[in-house]
Structure 1
Amino acid sequence: MTEARQRLGKKGEDAACAYLERKGYVICRRNYRCRYGEIDIIAAKGGELSFVEVKTRRNLNFGLPRLAVTYAKQQKIRSAALFYLQQENRHQQMLSFDVIEILVEGNVARLHHLPHCF
């Protein structure tokens, strides 16, 4: 991954965290990695734990950012989430798998939160 893409991804994740916090979420972890995969953001609100995938794009040349969260990617996120729950002993937890897509056009960024989408 190029440095410019890494910076764009980090900015997107920062914006997603700020958005979630404004909506009352508490950020538990960022960039959680384990042998099963990575989860961009793990956040909690109202007794529910949300596993959030963030997709940031500069244009729509490859379609909406959410379309990059393929079935295979969803399965990796689920596996990593189950591992996280086991490690943190949080078995009796309400769960949500969300996507936050961010489209950056010039100086304007549009964020769209898709809760419970997979």
Structure 2
Amino acid sequence: MQSFGKKGEDLAVSFLKKKGYQVLHRNFRHKKSEIDIICSKAGLLVFVEVKSRSSKAFGQPESFVSKSQEQSILKASEAFVLNEDWHGDIRFDIIAIYKNGQIEEIEHFEDAFY
């Protein structure tokens, strides 16, 4: 059985592809850091953190990206950029997914941090 987070990432990948992004990597790991989705569009490399929730009782999904998590994503993104010898622009996005039964909301926050 797929985890709730994995299902959320699958929804985010489908969402990004519909918006014209090319998904390059999923669950990229560097040491203890992980980036959920790495994609590109129009010469831009985008690092995406996906936050899925089944309830908004404790706040919006996008508010659960902590400063330490941002730092972790930054370190992993630096490793990816070096490994791929990327010289173009980069961006950090958050995709927030609220899914409770049949109710599904997806929000894409571009340039969410850094």
- Quote the residue 2:110 is aligned against: 115
Q: 1:103 aligns with which of 98, 102, 109?
A: 98
How many residues matched? 113
Aligned AA (1:94)? D
* % same residue: 39
- Structure 2 residue runs without a partner (length 5+): none
- The answer to whether the 8 A contact 1:54-1:99 is kept is yes
TM-score under structure 1 length normalisation: 0.91
- Structure 1 residue runs without a partner (length 5+): none
- Quote the residue 1:39 is aligned against: 35
Q: 1:61 aligns with which of 57, 63, 66?
A: 57
Give the match's secondary structure for 2:4: helix
CA–CA separation in structure 2 for the residues paired with 1:72 and 1:82: 15
Q: Deviations over 1:90-111 (max 9, x none)?
A: 1x12111000000012212100
Runs of 4 or more consecutive aligned structure 1 residues displaced over 2 Å after TM superposition = none
User: RMSD in angstroms over aligned alpha carbons?
Assistant: 1.2
Give the match's secondary structure for 2:112: coil
TM-score under structure 2 length normalisation: 0.94
